[in-house]
Structure 1
Amino acid sequence: MASLPLLSTFVSHSSSPSLLPSSSCSIRCLRPTKIHTFTTHSPRRCRSVKRSLAPRSALDEVSVVDPPPPPPPPPSSSGPKPELIDSSKLKLLSAVSGLNRGLAANEDDLRKADAAAKELEDAGGLVDLSIDLDKLQGRWKLIYSSAFSSRTLGGSRPGPPTGRLLPITLGQVFQRIDVFSKDFDNIVELELGAPWPLPPIELTATLAHKFEVTVKKKMISLIKLPLLLRIGSAKIKITFERTTVKATGNLSQLPPLELPRIPDSLRPQSNRGSGEFEVTYLDSDTRITRGDRSELRVFVIS
Protein backbone atom coordinates (compact mmCIF):
# COMPACT_ATOMS: atom_id res chain seq x y z
CA MET A 1 0.00 0.00 0.00
CA ALA A 2 2.94 2.30 -0.52
CA SER A 3 1.06 3.88 -3.42
CA LEU A 4 -1.58 5.58 -1.22
CA PRO A 5 0.42 8.81 -0.76
CA LEU A 6 0.76 9.03 -4.51
CA LEU A 7 -2.96 8.44 -4.81
CA SER A 8 -3.83 11.47 -2.71
CA THR A 9 -1.31 13.56 -4.60
CA PHE A 10 -2.80 12.62 -7.95
CA VAL A 11 -6.37 13.32 -6.89
CA SER A 12 -5.51 16.74 -5.54
CA HIS A 13 -3.84 17.75 -8.84
CA SER A 14 -6.55 16.35 -11.20
CA SER A 15 -9.02 18.94 -12.43
CA SER A 16 -10.36 17.46 -15.69
CA PRO A 17 -13.85 15.97 -15.29
CA SER A 18 -13.22 13.69 -18.28
CA LEU A 19 -11.12 11.40 -16.01
CA LEU A 20 -14.18 10.61 -13.90
CA PRO A 21 -16.79 8.49 -15.70
CA SER A 22 -20.44 9.06 -14.91
CA SER A 23 -21.06 5.48 -13.57
CA SER A 24 -17.82 4.85 -11.63
CA CYS A 25 -14.72 6.54 -10.34
CA SER A 26 -11.40 5.30 -11.74
CA ILE A 27 -8.30 6.37 -9.88
CA ARG A 28 -4.92 5.57 -11.29
CA CYS A 29 -1.91 5.19 -9.01
CA LEU A 30 1.50 5.76 -10.48
CA ARG A 31 4.62 3.94 -9.35
CA PRO A 32 8.03 3.94 -10.96
CA THR A 33 7.53 0.44 -12.40
CA LYS A 34 3.80 -0.24 -12.60
CA ILE A 35 0.54 1.50 -13.08
CA HIS A 36 -2.21 0.22 -10.77
CA THR A 37 -5.85 1.11 -11.31
CA PHE A 38 -8.38 1.08 -8.51
CA THR A 39 -12.04 1.34 -9.44
CA THR A 40 -14.73 2.24 -6.96
CA HIS A 41 -18.43 2.03 -7.64
CA SER A 42 -19.62 4.33 -4.91
CA PRO A 43 -22.01 6.76 -6.65
CA ARG A 44 -22.04 9.04 -3.61
CA ARG A 45 -18.28 9.70 -3.78
CA CYS A 46 -18.33 10.18 -7.54
CA ARG A 47 -21.21 12.54 -7.17
CA SER A 48 -19.33 14.58 -4.59
CA VAL A 49 -16.27 14.78 -6.80
CA LYS A 50 -18.34 15.80 -9.81
CA ARG A 51 -20.16 18.41 -7.77
CA SER A 52 -16.91 20.08 -6.87
CA LEU A 53 -15.59 20.07 -10.42
CA ALA A 54 -18.42 20.42 -12.93
CA PRO A 55 -20.34 23.52 -11.77
CA ARG A 56 -17.25 25.73 -11.93
CA SER A 57 -17.87 26.73 -15.55
CA ALA A 58 -21.50 27.52 -14.84
CA LEU A 59 -20.54 29.93 -12.08
CA ASP A 60 -18.28 31.80 -14.50
CA GLU A 61 -21.18 32.59 -16.86
CA VAL A 62 -23.37 34.88 -14.77
CA SER A 63 -25.36 37.49 -16.71
CA VAL A 64 -25.82 40.87 -15.09
CA VAL A 65 -29.15 42.68 -15.74
CA ASP A 66 -29.37 46.45 -15.21
CA PRO A 67 -32.00 47.48 -12.68
CA PRO A 68 -35.13 49.15 -14.12
CA PRO A 69 -35.13 52.98 -14.13
CA PRO A 70 -36.89 54.64 -11.23
CA PRO A 71 -40.47 55.79 -11.87
CA PRO A 72 -40.94 59.47 -12.78
CA PRO A 73 -41.73 61.75 -9.85
CA PRO A 74 -45.35 62.74 -9.40
CA PRO A 75 -46.32 66.16 -10.76
CA SER A 76 -45.97 69.01 -8.32
CA SER A 77 -49.21 70.07 -6.75
CA SER A 78 -48.09 73.73 -6.52
CA GLY A 79 -47.00 74.22 -10.14
CA PRO A 80 -49.13 75.28 -13.10
CA LYS A 81 -51.53 72.66 -14.45
CA PRO A 82 -51.88 72.99 -18.26
CA GLU A 83 -55.22 71.21 -18.57
CA LEU A 84 -56.76 73.22 -15.75
CA ILE A 85 -55.34 76.44 -17.18
CA ASP A 86 -56.91 75.78 -20.60
CA SER A 87 -60.34 75.07 -19.16
CA SER A 88 -60.18 78.05 -16.79
CA LYS A 89 -59.08 80.36 -19.60
CA LEU A 90 -61.99 79.22 -21.77
CA LYS A 91 -64.39 79.82 -18.87
CA LEU A 92 -63.05 83.35 -18.38
CA LEU A 93 -63.30 84.24 -22.06
CA SER A 94 -66.87 82.93 -22.12
CA ALA A 95 -67.77 84.98 -19.03
CA VAL A 96 -66.58 88.31 -20.49
CA SER A 97 -67.73 87.78 -24.08
CA GLY A 98 -70.70 89.89 -25.10
CA LEU A 99 -70.13 92.48 -22.34
CA ASN A 100 -68.67 95.13 -24.68
CA ARG A 101 -65.43 95.24 -22.67
CA GLY A 102 -67.49 95.66 -19.50
CA LEU A 103 -69.67 98.58 -20.59
CA ALA A 104 -72.72 96.28 -20.70
CA ALA A 105 -71.91 94.36 -17.49
CA ASN A 106 -74.34 94.24 -14.57
CA GLU A 107 -73.66 93.11 -11.00
CA ASP A 108 -74.17 89.44 -11.84
CA ASP A 109 -71.80 89.71 -14.81
CA LEU A 110 -69.16 91.32 -12.59
CA ARG A 111 -69.36 88.46 -10.07
CA LYS A 112 -69.10 85.77 -12.75
CA ALA A 113 -66.12 87.44 -14.43
CA ASP A 114 -64.33 87.90 -11.11
CA ALA A 115 -64.89 84.24 -10.11
CA ALA A 116 -63.63 83.00 -13.50
CA ALA A 117 -60.55 85.24 -13.24
CA LYS A 118 -59.74 83.94 -9.75
CA GLU A 119 -59.97 80.36 -11.00
CA LEU A 120 -57.44 81.08 -13.75
CA GLU A 121 -55.17 82.94 -11.33
CA ASP A 122 -55.16 79.96 -8.95
CA ALA A 123 -54.42 77.52 -11.79
CA GLY A 124 -51.52 79.60 -13.11
CA GLY A 125 -49.85 80.23 -9.77
CA LEU A 126 -47.91 83.28 -8.69
CA VAL A 127 -46.46 85.66 -11.31
CA ASP A 128 -42.85 86.75 -10.89
CA LEU A 129 -41.97 89.58 -13.27
CA SER A 130 -38.34 89.47 -12.22
CA ILE A 131 -38.21 86.24 -14.26
CA ASP A 132 -41.07 86.60 -16.78
CA LEU A 133 -40.75 90.28 -17.66
CA ASP A 134 -40.24 89.49 -21.35
CA LYS A 135 -43.77 88.07 -21.48
CA LEU A 136 -45.13 91.61 -21.11
CA GLN A 137 -43.57 92.64 -24.42
CA GLY A 138 -46.03 93.43 -27.19
CA ARG A 139 -49.39 95.01 -27.92
CA TRP A 140 -52.27 93.83 -25.76
CA LYS A 141 -55.97 94.25 -26.49
CA LEU A 142 -58.36 94.95 -23.62
CA ILE A 143 -61.36 92.63 -23.72
CA TYR A 144 -62.80 93.35 -20.28
CA SER A 145 -62.59 95.96 -17.54
CA SER A 146 -64.78 95.83 -14.46
CA ALA A 147 -64.47 99.63 -14.14
CA PHE A 148 -66.28 100.21 -17.42
CA SER A 149 -69.51 99.05 -15.76
CA SER A 150 -69.60 102.51 -14.11
CA ARG A 151 -70.41 103.86 -17.59
CA THR A 152 -67.45 106.27 -17.58
CA LEU A 153 -64.33 106.10 -19.70
CA GLY A 154 -62.23 106.73 -16.60
CA GLY A 155 -63.44 103.60 -14.90
CA SER A 156 -63.29 104.01 -11.13
CA ARG A 157 -61.50 107.34 -11.65
CA PRO A 158 -63.37 110.44 -12.88
CA GLY A 159 -63.76 110.39 -16.63
CA PRO A 160 -66.08 111.47 -19.45
CA PRO A 161 -69.38 109.61 -19.35
CA THR A 162 -70.69 107.59 -22.24
CA GLY A 163 -74.22 107.67 -23.50
CA ARG A 164 -76.43 110.61 -24.36
CA LEU A 165 -74.66 113.30 -22.35
CA LEU A 166 -71.65 113.32 -24.64
CA PRO A 167 -71.59 111.83 -28.15
CA ILE A 168 -68.53 109.68 -27.44
CA THR A 169 -68.27 106.10 -28.60
CA LEU A 170 -65.50 103.98 -27.16
CA GLY A 171 -63.65 101.85 -29.65
CA GLN A 172 -60.83 99.38 -29.05
CA VAL A 173 -58.42 99.84 -26.14
CA PHE A 174 -54.83 98.62 -26.30
CA GLN A 175 -51.72 98.59 -24.13
CA ARG A 176 -48.37 98.75 -25.87
CA ILE A 177 -45.49 97.66 -23.63
CA ASP A 178 -41.79 97.80 -24.42
CA VAL A 179 -39.76 96.07 -21.71
CA PHE A 180 -36.47 97.50 -23.05
CA SER A 181 -37.36 101.21 -23.13
CA LYS A 182 -39.86 100.87 -20.24
CA ASP A 183 -42.59 102.50 -22.34
CA PHE A 184 -46.15 101.75 -21.31
CA ASP A 185 -48.77 103.32 -23.61
CA ASN A 186 -52.53 103.15 -23.24
CA ILE A 187 -54.10 103.53 -26.69
CA VAL A 188 -57.81 104.35 -26.90
CA GLU A 189 -59.87 104.58 -30.07
CA LEU A 190 -62.70 107.12 -29.86
CA GLU A 191 -65.46 108.32 -32.12
CA LEU A 192 -66.87 111.82 -31.60
CA GLY A 193 -70.28 112.68 -32.92
CA ALA A 194 -70.62 115.72 -35.16
CA PRO A 195 -73.68 117.73 -36.22
CA TRP A 196 -75.45 116.48 -39.31
CA PRO A 197 -74.40 116.20 -42.11
CA LEU A 198 -70.82 116.02 -40.93
CA PRO A 199 -69.44 112.48 -40.39
CA PRO A 200 -68.27 111.45 -36.93
CA ILE A 201 -64.67 112.21 -36.06
CA GLU A 202 -62.44 109.23 -35.39
CA LEU A 203 -59.55 109.74 -33.00
CA THR A 204 -56.81 107.69 -31.39
CA ALA A 205 -55.59 108.93 -28.02
CA THR A 206 -52.23 107.66 -26.76
CA LEU A 207 -51.49 108.09 -23.07
CA ALA A 208 -47.75 107.59 -22.75
CA HIS A 209 -46.27 106.28 -19.49
CA LYS A 210 -43.03 104.90 -18.14
CA PHE A 211 -43.20 101.79 -15.99
CA GLU A 212 -41.12 99.98 -13.44
CA VAL A 213 -41.51 96.72 -11.59
CA THR A 214 -41.64 97.24 -7.85
CA VAL A 215 -39.59 94.46 -6.28
CA LYS A 216 -40.55 93.43 -2.79
CA LYS A 217 -37.97 93.26 -0.04
CA LYS A 218 -38.07 91.13 3.08
CA MET A 219 -35.89 91.32 6.17
CA ILE A 220 -34.64 87.95 7.43
CA SER A 221 -32.12 86.89 10.05
CA LEU A 222 -29.14 84.80 8.99
CA ILE A 223 -26.84 83.62 11.80
CA LYS A 224 -28.12 86.40 14.04
CA LEU A 225 -27.37 89.03 11.39
CA PRO A 226 -30.18 90.92 9.60
CA LEU A 227 -30.27 90.49 5.85
CA LEU A 228 -32.39 92.39 3.33
CA LEU A 229 -33.58 89.87 0.76
CA ARG A 230 -35.07 90.82 -2.60
CA ILE A 231 -37.97 88.66 -3.67
CA GLY A 232 -39.93 88.62 -6.91
CA SER A 233 -42.96 90.80 -7.45
CA ALA A 234 -45.83 91.15 -9.90
CA LYS A 235 -46.59 94.81 -9.22
CA ILE A 236 -46.07 97.51 -11.84
CA LYS A 237 -45.93 101.24 -11.23
CA ILE A 238 -46.67 103.57 -14.15
CA THR A 239 -45.89 107.29 -14.38
CA PHE A 240 -47.78 109.49 -16.82
CA GLU A 241 -45.80 111.56 -19.33
CA ARG A 242 -48.04 112.97 -22.09
CA THR A 243 -51.20 112.52 -24.14
CA THR A 244 -51.16 112.54 -27.94
CA VAL A 245 -54.30 112.65 -30.09
CA LYS A 246 -54.22 111.58 -33.73
CA ALA A 247 -57.15 111.84 -36.11
CA THR A 248 -57.93 108.76 -38.19
CA GLY A 249 -60.35 107.95 -40.97
CA ASN A 250 -61.13 110.92 -43.24
CA LEU A 251 -58.91 113.24 -41.21
CA SER A 252 -55.90 110.96 -40.96
CA GLN A 253 -53.75 113.45 -42.91
CA LEU A 254 -53.81 115.85 -39.98
CA PRO A 255 -50.68 115.82 -37.78
CA PRO A 256 -50.92 114.44 -34.25
CA LEU A 257 -51.66 116.88 -31.46
CA GLU A 258 -49.99 116.68 -28.04
CA LEU A 259 -52.31 117.88 -25.32
CA PRO A 260 -50.85 120.07 -22.60
CA ARG A 261 -50.40 118.33 -19.28
CA ILE A 262 -52.43 119.53 -16.34
CA PRO A 263 -50.15 120.61 -13.48
CA ASP A 264 -50.08 118.20 -10.57
CA SER A 265 -51.26 120.95 -8.23
CA LEU A 266 -54.54 121.16 -10.19
CA ARG A 267 -55.04 117.45 -10.38
CA PRO A 268 -57.22 115.63 -7.85
CA GLN A 269 -55.41 113.48 -5.30
CA SER A 270 -56.90 110.35 -6.87
CA ASN A 271 -55.43 111.12 -10.31
CA ARG A 272 -51.86 112.44 -10.15
CA GLY A 273 -50.73 110.72 -13.33
CA SER A 274 -49.32 107.60 -11.73
CA GLY A 275 -50.73 104.35 -10.48
CA GLU A 276 -49.98 100.77 -9.56
CA PHE A 277 -51.50 97.47 -10.54
CA GLU A 278 -50.63 93.83 -10.09
CA VAL A 279 -50.26 91.23 -12.82
CA THR A 280 -52.09 88.23 -11.40
CA TYR A 281 -51.89 85.96 -14.46
CA LEU A 282 -49.54 86.03 -17.46
CA ASP A 283 -48.75 83.73 -20.35
CA SER A 284 -47.92 84.15 -24.02
CA ASP A 285 -51.43 85.29 -25.06
CA THR A 286 -53.48 86.23 -21.96
CA ARG A 287 -52.92 88.65 -19.10
CA ILE A 288 -54.98 89.52 -16.03
CA THR A 289 -54.33 92.61 -13.93
CA ARG A 290 -55.93 93.98 -10.77
CA GLY A 291 -55.63 97.69 -10.21
CA ASP A 292 -55.06 99.70 -7.07
CA ARG A 293 -58.80 100.42 -6.99
CA SER A 294 -59.88 96.77 -7.32
CA GLU A 295 -60.25 97.09 -11.09
CA LEU A 296 -60.10 93.77 -12.95
CA ARG A 297 -58.79 93.86 -16.50
CA VAL A 298 -58.36 91.05 -19.00
CA PHE A 299 -56.08 91.39 -22.03
CA VAL A 300 -55.22 89.20 -25.01
CA ILE A 301 -52.21 89.61 -27.25
CA SER A 302 -52.98 91.32 -30.57
Structure 2
Amino acid sequence: MASAFFSSPQTTLSNSTIYHSSSRNIHLFTRLSPPQKPTRVPCSLSIAKSPFPAKPNNEIKFSEKWRSRVSFFPSFLKKKGKDRETMKEELLEAISALDRGAEATPDNQERVDQIARELEAVNTIKEPLKSNFLNGKWELIYTTSRSILQSQRPKFLRPNGKIYQAINADTLRAQNMETWPYFNQVTANLVPLSSTKVAVKFDTFKIAGLIPIKAPGRARGELEITYLDEELRISRGDKGNLFILKMVDPSYRVPL
Protein backbone atom coordinates (compact mmCIF):
# COMPACT_ATOMS: atom_id res chain seq x y z
CA MET A 1 0.00 0.00 0.00
CA ALA A 2 3.02 2.31 0.20
CA SER A 3 2.92 2.60 -3.57
CA ALA A 4 1.34 5.91 -4.66
CA PHE A 5 -1.91 5.05 -6.46
CA PHE A 6 -1.85 8.08 -6.11
CA SER A 7 -11.22 26.59 -57.26
CA SER A 8 -15.29 26.94 -61.03
CA PRO A 9 -12.78 27.38 -63.69
CA GLN A 10 -13.34 30.83 -65.37
CA THR A 11 -14.06 30.97 -69.12
CA THR A 12 -12.50 34.07 -70.77
CA LEU A 13 -13.68 35.60 -74.10
CA SER A 14 -10.81 36.83 -76.25
CA ASN A 15 -11.03 39.80 -78.70
CA SER A 16 -10.26 37.50 -81.64
CA THR A 17 -13.23 35.32 -80.77
CA ILE A 18 -15.63 38.31 -80.68
CA TYR A 19 -14.34 39.63 -84.06
CA HIS A 20 -14.58 36.26 -85.76
CA SER A 21 -18.11 35.71 -84.52
CA SER A 22 -19.30 39.18 -85.59
CA SER A 23 -17.91 38.76 -89.16
CA ARG A 24 -19.86 35.56 -89.68
CA ASN A 25 -23.11 37.18 -88.45
CA ILE A 26 -22.72 40.20 -90.85
CA HIS A 27 -22.08 37.85 -93.79
CA LEU A 28 -25.20 35.90 -92.95
CA PHE A 29 -27.32 39.09 -92.75
CA THR A 30 -26.22 40.28 -96.34
CA ARG A 31 -27.03 36.96 -97.97
CA LEU A 32 -30.56 37.09 -96.57
CA SER A 33 -31.48 40.74 -97.49
CA PRO A 34 -34.12 41.13 -99.86
CA PRO A 35 -33.70 38.29 -102.44
CA GLN A 36 -35.37 38.18 -105.96
CA LYS A 37 -35.83 34.47 -105.58
CA PRO A 38 -36.01 32.33 -102.59
CA THR A 39 -32.50 31.73 -101.62
CA ARG A 40 -31.43 28.65 -99.83
CA VAL A 41 -29.14 29.43 -97.07
CA PRO A 42 -26.35 26.91 -96.80
CA CYS A 43 -26.78 24.73 -93.84
CA SER A 44 -23.36 25.53 -92.65
CA LEU A 45 -24.41 29.21 -92.25
CA SER A 46 -27.74 28.56 -90.59
CA ILE A 47 -26.10 27.75 -87.28
CA ALA A 48 -24.32 30.60 -85.61
CA LYS A 49 -21.07 29.66 -84.04
CA SER A 50 -21.01 29.99 -80.28
CA PRO A 51 -18.80 32.86 -79.11
CA PHE A 52 -17.68 30.70 -76.20
CA PRO A 53 -15.03 28.12 -76.91
CA ALA A 54 -15.68 24.61 -75.74
CA LYS A 55 -14.15 23.59 -72.48
CA PRO A 56 -11.01 21.56 -72.81
CA ASN A 57 -11.38 17.93 -71.75
CA ASN A 58 -9.27 18.44 -68.66
CA GLU A 59 -11.62 21.21 -67.45
CA ILE A 60 -14.64 18.95 -67.97
CA LYS A 61 -12.97 16.19 -66.05
CA PHE A 62 -12.01 18.59 -63.25
CA SER A 63 -15.57 19.94 -63.03
CA GLU A 64 -17.07 16.44 -62.90
CA LYS A 65 -14.52 15.38 -60.34
CA TRP A 66 -15.20 18.44 -58.20
CA ARG A 67 -18.98 17.83 -58.30
CA SER A 68 -18.49 14.21 -57.31
CA ARG A 69 -16.41 15.24 -54.32
CA VAL A 70 -18.91 17.81 -53.09
CA SER A 71 -21.43 15.07 -52.44
CA PHE A 72 -19.13 13.63 -49.79
CA PHE A 73 -18.82 16.83 -47.76
CA PRO A 74 -22.13 16.61 -45.85
CA SER A 75 -21.41 13.11 -44.60
CA PHE A 76 -17.88 14.10 -43.68
CA LEU A 77 -19.04 17.13 -41.73
CA LYS A 78 -21.49 15.01 -39.76
CA LYS A 79 -18.73 12.87 -38.34
CA LYS A 80 -17.87 13.71 -34.78
CA GLY A 81 -15.36 12.39 -32.31
CA LYS A 82 -16.41 10.43 -29.27
CA ASP A 83 -17.56 12.56 -26.37
CA ARG A 84 -16.25 12.17 -22.84
CA GLU A 85 -19.23 10.20 -21.58
CA THR A 86 -18.83 7.65 -24.38
CA MET A 87 -15.15 7.31 -23.56
CA LYS A 88 -15.93 6.83 -19.88
CA GLU A 89 -18.47 4.12 -20.70
CA GLU A 90 -15.91 2.35 -22.88
CA LEU A 91 -13.33 2.56 -20.11
CA LEU A 92 -15.64 1.14 -17.47
CA GLU A 93 -16.68 -1.66 -19.81
CA ALA A 94 -13.04 -2.48 -20.60
CA ILE A 95 -12.13 -2.89 -16.93
CA SER A 96 -15.35 -4.44 -15.65
CA ALA A 97 -14.14 -8.06 -15.84
CA LEU A 98 -10.51 -7.49 -14.88
CA ASP A 99 -10.77 -7.72 -11.08
CA ARG A 100 -9.30 -4.23 -10.62
CA GLY A 101 -6.51 -5.23 -13.03
CA ALA A 102 -5.39 -8.44 -11.32
CA GLU A 103 -6.80 -10.53 -14.21
CA ALA A 104 -5.66 -8.17 -16.97
CA THR A 105 -3.57 -9.55 -19.84
CA PRO A 106 -1.03 -7.33 -21.64
CA ASP A 107 -3.67 -6.78 -24.36
CA ASN A 108 -6.21 -5.77 -21.71
CA GLN A 109 -3.73 -3.35 -20.17
CA GLU A 110 -2.93 -1.82 -23.54
CA ARG A 111 -6.64 -1.34 -24.33
CA VAL A 112 -7.36 0.28 -20.97
CA ASP A 113 -4.33 2.53 -21.26
CA GLN A 114 -5.41 3.62 -24.76
CA ILE A 115 -8.89 4.68 -23.59
CA ALA A 116 -7.40 6.38 -20.53
CA ARG A 117 -5.12 8.44 -22.78
CA GLU A 118 -8.10 9.47 -24.92
CA LEU A 119 -9.81 10.76 -21.80
CA GLU A 120 -6.65 12.48 -20.58
CA ALA A 121 -6.48 14.30 -23.94
CA VAL A 122 -9.90 15.90 -23.35
CA ASN A 123 -9.39 16.68 -19.66
CA THR A 124 -10.92 20.07 -18.83
CA ILE A 125 -9.67 20.35 -15.25
CA LYS A 126 -6.20 21.75 -15.87
CA GLU A 127 -5.39 22.39 -12.19
CA PRO A 128 -6.85 19.43 -10.31
CA LEU A 129 -5.15 20.35 -7.03
CA LYS A 130 -7.37 23.46 -6.95
CA SER A 131 -10.57 21.62 -7.86
CA ASN A 132 -13.24 20.60 -5.37
CA PHE A 133 -13.82 17.50 -7.53
CA LEU A 134 -10.61 16.06 -6.07
CA ASN A 135 -11.74 16.05 -2.43
CA GLY A 136 -13.30 12.98 -0.88
CA LYS A 137 -13.09 9.19 -0.92
CA TRP A 138 -12.41 7.40 -4.18
CA GLU A 139 -12.72 3.69 -4.90
CA LEU A 140 -9.88 2.10 -6.83
CA ILE A 141 -11.45 0.24 -9.77
CA TYR A 142 -8.33 -0.47 -11.83
CA THR A 143 -4.57 -0.34 -11.46
CA THR A 144 -1.44 -1.85 -12.93
CA SER A 145 0.34 -1.79 -9.55
CA ARG A 146 1.27 -5.33 -8.53
CA SER A 147 2.11 -4.25 -4.99
CA ILE A 148 -1.48 -3.09 -4.46
CA LEU A 149 -3.18 -5.96 -6.28
CA GLN A 150 -0.87 -8.63 -4.88
CA SER A 151 -1.56 -10.44 -8.14
CA GLN A 152 1.36 -12.82 -7.55
CA ARG A 153 -0.53 -14.37 -4.65
CA PRO A 154 -3.34 -16.91 -4.89
CA LYS A 155 -6.66 -15.13 -5.26
CA PHE A 156 -7.88 -15.98 -1.76
CA LEU A 157 -4.82 -14.24 -0.29
CA ARG A 158 -5.26 -11.01 -2.25
CA PRO A 159 -7.15 -7.95 -1.01
CA ASN A 160 -10.64 -9.07 -1.99
CA GLY A 161 -12.66 -6.19 -0.60
CA LYS A 162 -12.83 -2.68 -1.94
CA ILE A 163 -9.78 -0.44 -1.89
CA TYR A 164 -10.15 3.28 -1.32
CA GLN A 165 -8.02 6.37 -1.60
CA ALA A 166 -9.05 9.66 -0.04
CA ILE A 167 -7.57 13.07 -0.80
CA ASN A 168 -8.18 16.45 0.75
CA ALA A 169 -6.44 19.17 -1.29
CA ASP A 170 -7.06 21.88 1.30
CA THR A 171 -5.09 20.05 3.99
CA LEU A 172 -2.77 18.24 1.55
CA ARG A 173 -3.55 14.89 3.16
CA ALA A 174 -4.16 11.50 1.58
CA GLN A 175 -5.15 8.06 2.83
CA ASN A 176 -5.18 4.57 1.31
CA MET A 177 -7.57 2.02 2.82
CA GLU A 178 -7.96 -1.69 2.21
CA THR A 179 -11.04 -3.56 3.34
CA TRP A 180 -11.53 -7.33 3.57
CA PRO A 181 -9.55 -9.22 4.62
CA TYR A 182 -6.66 -7.08 5.80
CA PHE A 183 -8.12 -3.63 6.57
CA ASN A 184 -4.69 -2.02 6.31
CA GLN A 185 -4.44 1.75 6.07
CA VAL A 186 -1.76 4.35 5.42
CA THR A 187 -1.90 8.13 5.62
CA ALA A 188 0.40 10.58 3.83
CA ASN A 189 1.29 14.23 3.40
CA LEU A 190 1.15 15.70 -0.10
CA VAL A 191 3.66 18.22 -1.40
CA PRO A 192 2.58 19.96 -4.64
CA LEU A 193 5.17 19.74 -7.41
CA SER A 194 2.98 21.31 -10.10
CA SER A 195 -0.72 22.02 -10.69
CA THR A 196 -1.23 18.30 -11.44
CA LYS A 197 1.47 16.46 -9.54
CA VAL A 198 2.27 15.86 -5.87
CA ALA A 199 5.02 14.18 -3.93
CA VAL A 200 3.56 11.62 -1.52
CA LYS A 201 5.24 11.14 1.87
CA PHE A 202 3.64 8.37 3.89
CA ASP A 203 3.68 8.92 7.63
CA THR A 204 1.64 6.25 9.41
CA PHE A 205 0.60 2.70 8.62
CA LYS A 206 -2.22 0.99 10.47
CA ILE A 207 -2.14 -2.78 10.52
CA ALA A 208 -5.67 -4.17 10.43
CA GLY A 209 -6.77 -0.58 10.75
CA LEU A 210 -5.82 -0.60 14.42
CA ILE A 211 -2.11 -0.90 15.11
CA PRO A 212 -0.22 2.29 14.12
CA ILE A 213 3.33 2.01 12.80
CA LYS A 214 5.47 4.92 11.73
CA ALA A 215 6.27 4.76 8.05
CA PRO A 216 9.95 4.46 7.09
CA GLY A 217 11.56 7.38 5.29
CA ARG A 218 11.74 5.47 2.02
CA ALA A 219 7.93 5.19 1.94
CA ARG A 220 7.33 7.93 -0.59
CA GLY A 221 6.44 8.42 -4.23
CA GLU A 222 4.81 10.80 -6.70
CA LEU A 223 1.32 10.97 -8.15
CA GLU A 224 0.08 12.92 -11.18
CA ILE A 225 -3.64 13.52 -11.70
CA THR A 226 -4.13 13.30 -15.46
CA TYR A 227 -7.95 13.31 -15.68
CA LEU A 228 -10.57 14.56 -13.25
CA ASP A 229 -14.30 15.14 -13.14
CA GLU A 230 -16.94 14.75 -10.45
CA GLU A 231 -17.19 10.97 -11.01
CA LEU A 232 -13.88 9.69 -12.34
CA ARG A 233 -10.20 10.24 -11.69
CA ILE A 234 -7.19 8.93 -13.60
CA SER A 235 -3.75 9.15 -12.03
CA ARG A 236 -0.28 7.96 -12.94
CA GLY A 237 2.48 7.14 -10.48
CA ASP A 238 6.21 7.69 -10.66
CA LYS A 239 6.75 3.97 -11.28
CA GLY A 240 4.62 4.12 -14.44
CA ASN A 241 1.53 2.61 -12.84
CA LEU A 242 -1.97 3.61 -13.90
CA PHE A 243 -4.74 4.21 -11.36
CA ILE A 244 -8.44 4.64 -12.20
CA LEU A 245 -10.84 5.57 -9.41
CA LYS A 246 -14.51 6.48 -9.04
CA MET A 247 -15.90 8.90 -6.48
CA VAL A 248 -17.90 7.33 -3.67
CA ASP A 249 -18.01 9.98 -0.91
CA PRO A 250 -17.14 13.64 -1.66
CA SER A 251 -17.64 14.60 2.01
CA TYR A 252 -14.99 12.29 3.45
CA ARG A 253 -12.14 13.90 5.39
CA VAL A 254 -8.67 12.41 5.82
CA PRO A 255 -7.47 12.30 9.42
CA LEU A 256 -4.82 14.89 10.26
Normalised TM-score (structure 1): 0.51
AA partner of residue 234 (structure 1): T
The 1:260/1:121 distance shift into structure 2, 3 A limit, reads closer
Q: Is the 8 A contact 1:288 1:296 kept in 2?
A: yes
AA partner of residue 240 (structure 1): F
Q: Is the 8 A contact 1:205 1:245 kept in 2?
A: yes
Q: Does 1:259 pair with 2:216?
A: no
Q: Is the 8 A contact 2:129 2:169 kept in 1?
A: no
Q: Determine the C-alpha separation between the residues in 2 that align with 1:176 and 1:106.
A: 28
Q: Is the 8 A contact 2:95 2:142 kept in 1?
A: yes
Q: Determine the C-alpha separation between the residues in 1 that align with 2:202 and 2:127.
A: 24
Query: How much does 1:234 deviate?
Result: 0.7
SS of aligned partner of 1:241: strand
Query: How much does 1:154 deviate?
Result: 4.1
1:135 aligned to which of 133, 136, 139 = 133
- Aligned pairs for 1:1-302 (under 5 A) are 84-125=83-124, 127-129=126-128, 131-132=130-131, 134-148=132-146, 153-154=147-148, 161-163=152-154, 167-191=157-181, 203-215=182-194, 233-246=195-208, 256-262=210-216, 264=217, 272-302=218-248
Q: Is the 8 A contact 1:168 1:190 kept in 2?
A: no
Please name the residue that 1:6 is paired with: none
Structure with more strand by fraction: 1
SS of aligned partner of 1:289: strand
Q: Is the 8 A contact 2:125 2:228 kept in 1?
A: no
Q: Is the 8 A contact 1:190 1:205 kept in 2?
A: no
Q: Determine the C-alpha separation between the residues in 1 that align with 2:230 and 2:144.
A: 23
Query: How much does 1:102 deviate?
Result: 0.3
Q: CA RMSD in A?
A: 2.5
Query: How much does 1:82 deviate?
Result: 11
Q: Is the 8 A contact 2:159 2:178 kept in 1?
A: no
Task: Please identify the structure whose Cα radius of gyration is greater.
Answer: 1
The 1:143/1:257 distance shift into structure 2, 3 A limit, reads same
Query: How much does 1:131 deviate?
Result: 3.9
Q: Is the 8 A contact 1:127 1:279 kept in 2?
A: no
Q: Is the 8 A contact 1:142 1:299 kept in 2?
A: yes
Query: How much does 1:126 deviate?
Result: 6.2
Structure 1 portions without partners, runs of 5+ = 1-80, 192-202, 216-232, 248-255, 265-271
SS of aligned partner of 1:115: helix
- Higher RCO, 1 vs 2 (CA within 8 Å, ≥6 residues apart): 2
Q: Is the 8 A contact 2:203 2:214 kept in 1?
A: no
The 1:242/1:144 distance shift into structure 2, 3 A limit, reads same
Q: Is the 8 A contact 1:277 1:290 kept in 2?
A: yes
AA partner of residue 211 (structure 2): L
AA partner of residue 284 (structure 1): E
Q: Determine the C-alpha separation between the residues in 2 that align with 1:284 and 1:160.
A: 30
Q: Determine the C-alpha separation between the residues in 2 that align with 1:83 and 1:160.
A: 33
Q: Determine the C-alpha separation between the residues in 2 that align with 1:169 and 1:277.
A: 22
SS of aligned partner of 2:107: helix
Q: Determine the C-alpha separation between the residues in 1 that align with 2:81 and 2:212.
A: 45
Structure with more helix by fraction: 2
Q: Is the 8 A contact 1:145 1:295 kept in 2?
A: yes
Q: Is the 8 A contact 2:205 2:212 kept in 1?
A: yes
Normalised TM-score (structure 2): 0.60
AA partner of residue 230 (structure 2): S
Query: How much does 1:129 deviate?
Result: 2.9
Q: Determine the C-alpha separation between the residues in 2 that align with 1:204 and 1:184.
A: 16
Which of structure 1's runs of 4+ aligned residues deviate more than 6 A?
A: none
Query: How much does 1:136 deviate?
Result: 1.0
Q: Deviations over 1:24-65 (max 9, x none)?
A: xxxxxxxxxxxxxxxxxxxxxxxxxxxxxxxxxxxxxxxxxx
SS of aligned partner of 2:161: strand
Give aligned-pair identity as a percent. 25
AA partner of residue 242 (structure 1): T
Structure 2 portions without partners, runs of 5+ = 1-79, 249-256
